[in-house]
Amino acid sequence: MTAAMTTTNHDTIRKWIEAREGQPARVKNATEGGGGLLRVDFGKPEDTLEKISWDEFFKIFDEEKLAFLHQDMTEDGQTSRFCKFVNQD
């Protein structure tokens, strides 16, 4: 796997997600920390996720003090969709 990077920059996160046709989402009925568990929904919407606005997404992101771990390219040069939310260190 190629190197993964971490960022908290909202513009970088939004551009990365939108470039991969992703949508901001959270897990339905999950209220960890009050805002829910953030996810990125790619392609066909998943039943367990609810779409949220970018404003709501980044409000939760900041309140939970998260960072966005992501990979730009796979080892074979394809666009990667690998991402996850981690606690800021």
For residue range 75-86, list pLDDT tens digits in order: 898 999 999 999
59 pLDDT higher than 70:
yes
Across all residues in the chain, what is the average pLDDT? 88
Q: Give this prediction's pTM.
A: 0.86
- Is the confidence at residue 57, as pLDDT, over 60? yes
Confidence class for position 44, pLDDT limits 50, 70, 90: confident
Euclidean distance between the first and the last CA atom of the chain, given in angstroms as a whole number: 23
Between 15 and 46, whose confidence is greater?
Answer: 15
Closest CA to 41 of 20, 70, 13: 20
